[in-house]
Amino acid sequence: MNSKGKKKDGMTRRDFIKVAGTAGVVGALTLAGPGIPFIHAKEKVTLRFLNSETDADCVKVMAMTSAEYEKKTGVKVLVDTLPAQDAFSKLTASIKGGMPYDMSCLIFMGDVLLLARDGHLVPVTSLTKKYKFGPRILIPYKNEQYWYPYDYNLCTMFYRKDLYQQKGLNVAKTWDQLVENCKALMLDENKDGVYERHGIALPIGTGGPASYMSFAFLWAEGVKIFDDNFKIIFDSPEMGPKVIKFLDFFEELYKTMPSGMTQIGFAPPLTLFASEKITHTVFTGKICTHIDKFAPQLADKYGMTPYMDSKGVSKAVSFGYDGWVVVKTKYSEESMKFMEWFTENHYIDFLHSSPLGFQPPRMDIYDDPRWRADPMIKKYWWAMQAMWDYLKDPNLIIASIDTQGPYVDVRGGKIFNSFALPEMLQNKLLKKMSSNECLKVAAAKLRKSIA
Amino acid sequence: MKSDWVINAFLVIGLLVTAVCIVLPLIHAIQLSFFQLESFVSEPKYIGLKNYSETFADSVFWWALLHGCIYAGGSIIFQVSLGIGIALVLSKSFKGQQIVRGLSLLPYLLPVVIVTLTFLWMMDGTLGIITIGLAKIGIRDVPWFETPFTAMAMVIFVSVWLWTPFVTTCFLAGLQTVPKALYDAAKVDGLGPWQTFWQVTIPVLKPILTIIILLRAIWMFNKFEVVWLLTQGGPVGATEHLPILAYRKAFLMFNVGGGAAVATISFMILSIAVFIYFKLSPIEEK
């Protein structure tokens, strides 16, 4: 070899790299190309389940269930668990990669419809039609159901009942009353302007928590984002003034909140309430189990009420449903068998893994003694009863940003993920823009997101 | 020759890994940017350069580019200057030098997610230990992430904390290679510490410094997890840079093609920047 790295005869190193590189790229392209099906083991059916409930108890139930199913049928169910927000990406990547999950949790109805439209899901109508489900939780597509909803995640308001009694306050029916109650319960022990206890904590950061927890006031007020043709009417003469009123109300409410509301996610409103730093919060029924575990001294000192409107006429809760889908794979039939067995025999075990967190969308469950036998459900029946009543109350509005519109559609997901509404709050509260200007900016962003 | 085959075998492995893990996804991403599709499994529709024209016409893209430059620039300036400073201190002999050197590397060894979430909790507006500590000395209601300036400052701060040790380690290793004779000569010439640093240390370590700055620039420009975990691009888009914009478009806004276009543009910008950087600061081969 000479000094420049060239062999005296034969190919040079550069030539070798070229040939090897080309061969490598061609080989890799061939391997990564389409049409390589995932080869399932012939001797044994293995189903893959993408679970997005990360709670340890839930993971345990899924593991026990799959073990029991394998023992019973010989079909193995492998359960992968990941955070809910990543489920859709992972599921689509698995489909694209030729190794699709057979079943999956999904958290956006828009995602379900997208996959159903593109032919990646099999209908689960045969499973859902056996039962009566609560309002707004089923999403028919071409006369079929493509998902099996397993919880509602109704987000409602909690307040400190004991402090209300001490101060002679009534449960707020209007926005003004809520602000007054929050102000009345703030505590500045040392009279130094530093509050040891605040009124309420509502997320305003860019992300899901604010979208889920901070806008049910709008739904109570009758605000709609789309008209019946999916045209944005958020700033229309009918809706605009309501949104402006909401922003002005929120500005007042914000004065009763601790600092750091842009940072908080789903959990902090819960921990702040349990640690008595705030007197109102919003969350699912899971708050009962949290308080029972971490602040038992508060167990009988709080009550629940829906979000209210400005006039004391209408009420609302937001929802952040979850559901299961069955993916079109060579084992779809086996997956359906598993889902049927699971939803018939172990759905209640699954619900018990987060007894007040998983609010059943299946109405028969509320009367099922097996479900009601759970100690936490028994202990906090007042809360579960209230949430059950929400589902039965035709006047209570159950809504969310992503389910806006005449029917569920991917556009709901787009406006949700544009974060136009949380940013509207940020513009008002952090940038001190006028409510009019905030509305204008938000409406423009909403329009752009679905353009 | 046997040694040639060993070298070639490693080359082939390297090329294969690069092809499969970098070149192919890159080609696929570029390819996707010419299509309209709502998810990775949707039917793609060819739309030519429309994703690019829409991206360039969107003010959000230009803001994201500016935020990316501020984030990367701010992070690099602090990482490099602090990293060099710490390396110079650690290169001196003192008692416990080895322990301090080991400890100085610690932030780099911790998982990014853990560090970021720890900072997020420490700077929580109500329960954060730093927030409470500051309140005790009279500094209250620090808007950690609530103004565009503080939010950007915080993401830069966490990034500097995390990756300064990388610069320190690289520079410290480089310092060991500076011939002692040069420092002796500088002393004889009457140069002070400051002059010695600029006229001896920096020129000798320029190739290392060039590479450090280049690597940090590329990594910080593409850094996703710190910003996403701390602010998700907020408040009001103030920390949204190109990786977050690409992610949001592709994975949250059902616009995979648009996200791919942003990612491709980001890649092109970086490539051009690297090319210009090497033109301006060539690495001299010995």
Can you spell out the DSSP letters for A238-264? TTHHHHHHHHHHHHHHHTTSPS-TTT-
Domain-located, residue A175: yes
| CATH number (domain holding residue A108) | 3.40.190.10
Q: Is residue B22 part of a domain?
A: no
Residue A404 has pLDDT above 60, yes or no: yes
Distance (Å, rounded) from C-alpha B151 to C-alpha B231?
Answer: 7
Q: Given this model, what pLDDT does residue A35 score? A: 43
| Residue A311 and residue A202 share a domain | yes
* Lowest-pLDDT choice from A172-186, A227-241, B184-198: B184-198
CB atoms closer than 10 angstroms to residue B128: 21
Domain total in chain A: 2
If one counts the domains in chain B, the total is 1
Measured CA to CA in angstroms, residue A93 lies from A46, A96, B74 at distances of 19, 5, 35
pLDDT, position A42: 52
pLDDT band at A249 (very low <50, low <70, confident <90, very high): very high
CB B235 to CB A13 under 8 A? no
CB-based contact, A422 to chain B, within 8 Å: yes
pLDDT in the model for residue A7: 47
B62 falls within a domain: yes
**Nearest C-alpha in A relative to B234:** A206
Instruction: Examine the domain organization and report whether A100 and A187 are in the same domain.
Output: no
User: Do A178 and A227 fall into the same domain?
Assistant: yes
Tell me, what's the pLDDT at A13?
57
Sign of CA dihedral B137, B140, B144, B147: negative
pTM of the model: 0.82
Q: What is the CATH number of the domain that holds B99?
A: 1.10.3720.10
Chain A CB contacts of B7 under 8 Å are 13
Residues of B in Cβ contact (< 8 Å) with A194? 135, 140
For residue B29, which residues of chain A lie inside 8 Å, CB to CB? none
- Shared-domain flag, residues A327 and A351: yes
- Which of A13, A24, A205 comes nearest B12 by C-beta? A24
Could you tell me which chain A residue has the CA closest to the CA of B254?
A414
Query: What's the average model confidence in pLDDT over A142-162?
Result: 95
Q: Rounded CA gap, A424 and A433, in Å?
A: 9
pLDDT top residue among A128 and A14: A128
Phi and psi at B103, nearest 5°, equal -65, -35
Within 8 A of B41 by CB-CB distance, chain A residues are: 92, 95-96, 115, 118, 120
Asked whether the predicted pLDDT for residue A11 surpasses 60, the reply is: no
> With an 8 Å Cβ cutoff, are A95 and B237 in contact?
no
Span B7-14, mean pLDDT? 92
Q: Are residues A191 and A212 in the same domain?
A: yes
3-class secondary structure, A168: coil
The answer to whether position A107 is within a domain reads: yes
User: B237 and A259: CB-CB below 8 Å?
Assistant: no
A179 has a pLDDT exceeding 80: yes
CB contacts, 8 Å: B40 with chain A = 92-93, 95-96
Going by C-alpha positions, the residue among B165, B205, B153 that lies closest to residue B79 is B165
Task: Find the DSSP H helices in A130-262.
Answer: 161-167, 175-184, 208-213, 216-220, 240-254
Cβ-based contacts of B253 with chain A (< 8 Å) = 414, 417-418, 449
Output the six-digit token pair for A191.
């009279």
Stretch A179-195: mean pLDDT:
89
Average pLDDT over residues A339-356: 95
SS (H, E, C) B143-194: CCCCCHHHHHHHHHHHHHHHHHHHHHHHHHHHHCCCCHHHHHHHHHCCCCHH
- From the list A133, A103, A120, A151, the residue with the least C-alpha distance to A325 is A103
The gap from C-alpha A83 to its chain's centroid, in whole angstroms, comes to 11
Q: Tell me how long chain B is.
A: 286
Closest listed residue to residue A133, CA positions, set A334, A290, A321, A292: A321
Q: Tokens standing for A343?
A: 């939803």
Query: Is residue A22 assigned to a domain?
Result: no
Distances (CA, A) of A220 to A214, A215, A311, A317, A419: 12, 9, 10, 8, 20
Instruction: Name the band, by pLDDT with cuts 50, 70 and 90, for residue A21.
Output: low
In this prediction, residue A33 carries a pLDDT of 45
Tokens 């709901």 correspond to: A412
Q: Lowest-confidence range among A168-182, A314-328, A375-389, B36-50?
A: B36-50
Query: Which of A15, A89, A197, A206 has the highest number of chain B CBs within 10 A, making it the mutation to test binding with B?
Result: A206
Phi, psi values for residue A224, rounded to 5°: -125, 145
pLDDT at position A32 is 47
Q: Does the pLDDT at position B33 exceed 50?
A: yes
Average pLDDT over residues A374-381: 95
Instruction: Say if A4 falls within a structural domain.
Output: no
Backbone angles phi, psi at A427, to 5 degrees: -60, -40
Are A124 and A342 contacting, i.e. CB atoms less than 8 angstroms apart?
Answer: no
State both tokens at A440.
Answer: 């204008």
Torsion of CA A160, A269, A196, A198, to 10 degrees: -60
Are A346 and A410 members of one domain?
no
Is A10 contained in some domain? Answer: no
pLDDT bracket for residue A39 (50, 70, 90): very low
Instruction: Using CA atoms of B270, B276, B282, B283 in order, give the dihedral in degrees to the nearest 10.
Output: 0
The DSSP output letter for A158 is: E
In this structure, the answer to whether residues A330 and A315 fall within a common structural domain is no
Range of weakest confidence among A32-36, A206-210, B8-12, B226-230: A32-36
Dist CA B75 CA B62 (whole Å): 20
> pLDDT-based confidence at A120, cuts 50/70/90?
very high
Residue B255, in any domain of the structure: yes
Question: How large is the average pLDDT for residues A105-129?
Answer: 92
Residue A15 covered by a domain? no
Question: Which of the four pLDDT bands, split at 50, 70 and 90, describes residue B13?
Answer: very high
CA distance A265 to A213: 10
**Containing structural domain, residue B256:** 57-280
- The full DSSP string for A270-318 is HHHHHTTSEEEEEE-THHHHHHHHH-GGGTTSEEEE-EE-SSSS-EEEE
Band (pLDDT 50/70/90 cuts) for residue B286 is: low
In the predicted structure, residue A24 carries a pLDDT above the cut 80: no
Pair (A82, A190) in one structural domain: no
Whether B151 maps to a domain, the answer reads yes
Average pLDDT, chain A: 90
Residue with tokens 């995602």: A111
Mean pLDDT of chain B: 89
The closest of B4, B198, B6 to B84, measured between CA atoms, is B198
Q: Please, which pLDDT band fits residue A18 given cuts at 50, 70 and 90?
A: low
Q: Please, which pLDDT band fits residue A34 given cuts at 50, 70 and 90?
A: very low
Q: How confident is the model at residue A451 (pLDDT cuts 50, 70, 90)?
A: confident
A118 is a domain residue: yes
- Report the chain B residue with the minimal C-alpha distance to residue A204: B235
B143 CB-near residues (< 8 Å, 6+ apart): A259, A430, B150
- Average pLDDT of span B119-123: 90
Which token pair is A16?
């070798």
pLDDT at A255 over 60: yes
Asked if the structure places residue B262 within a domain, the reply is yes
Residues of B in contact with A32 (CB under 8 A): 20, 24
Is the pLDDT confidence value at A302 over 60? Answer: yes
Distance from CA of B273 to the nearest CA of A (A): 26
What does the alpha-carbon distance between residue A318 and residue A155 come to, in Å, rounded to a whole number?
5
Q: Which residues of A338-351 are buried (b: 16+ CB within 10 A; e: fewer)?
A: bbebbbeebbbbbb
User: Phi/psi at A327 (nearest 5 deg)?
Assistant: -85, 145
Q: Does A434 touch chain B (CB under 8 A)?
A: no
Is the model's pLDDT at B149 over the cut of 70?
yes
Check if the beta carbon of residue A303 is closer than 8 Å to that of residue A161. yes
Same domain, yes or no: A374 and A405: no
Residues 6+ apart with CB under 8 A from A431: B236
Is residue A38 scored above 50 in pLDDT? Answer: no
Does A238 have pLDDT greater than 50?
yes
Residue A5 has pLDDT above 60, yes or no: no
Token pair, residue B202, equals 């920096």
Is residue B165 scored above 90 in pLDDT?
A: yes
Could you tell me if A223 and A265 lie in one domain?
Answer: yes
Q: Which residues contact A42 (CB under 8 A, 6 or more apart)?
A: none
10 Å Cβ neighbour count for B66? 11
Same-domain status, A190 and A80? no
pLDDT, tens digit, for every residue of B76-114?
Answer: 999 999 999 999 999 888 888 888 888 888 888 899 999
Asked if A414's CB is within 8 angstroms of B253's CB, the reply is yes
Q: Residue B183 and residue B176: Cα distance in Å, rounded?
A: 12
State the ipTM, two decimals.
0.76
Question: A306 to each of A88, A150, A377, B13, B269, how far by Cα in Å?
Answer: 30, 22, 20, 61, 50
Given an 8 Å threshold on Cβ–Cβ distance, is A20 in contact with B15? yes
More confident residue, A310 or A270: A310
Nearest CA in chain B to A421: B236
CA distance A23 to A9: 22
Count residue pairs from A and B with Cβ separation < 8 A. 145
Using the Cβ of A12 and the Cβ atoms of chain B, whether some distance falls under 8 Å is answered with no
The arithmetic mean of pLDDT across residues A46-59, rounded, is: 94
Tokens, residue B214: 């280049």
Interchain CB distance below 8 Å, B40 and A96: yes
Determine the average pLDDT of the residues in A59-83. 94
Q: What are phi and psi of A297, to 5 degrees?
A: -65, -15
Flag whether A31 is in a domain: no
Q: Which two tokens stand for residue A159?
A: 């307040």
3-state class of A187 per DSSP? strand
Q: Which residues pair with A133 in a beta bridge?
A: A362
Range of the domain at A64: 46-151+321-391
User: What is the pLDDT, as a whole number, of residue A41?
Assistant: 46
Give pLDDT, residue A23: 57
pLDDT at A3 over 50: no
Which whole number is the average pLDDT over A399-412?
A: 90
Answer yes or no: do B125 and A263 touch at CB < 8 A.
yes
Phi, psi of A385 (to 5 degrees): -60, -45
- In this structure, what is the dihedral angle of CA atoms A419, A424, A428, A431, given to the nearest 10 degrees? 50
- Whether residue B270 contacts residue B221, with contact meaning beta carbons closer than 8 Å, is answered with yes
Optimal mutation site among A263, A276, A425, A441, interface B, most CBs of chain B within 10 A: A263
d(CA A140, CA A147): 9
Please tell me the least confidently modeled range out of A181-185, A328-332, B37-41.
B37-41
Rounded CA separation A446/A226 (Å): 10
Taking CA atoms, what residue in B is nearest to A446? Answer: B253
Same domain, A298 and A310: yes
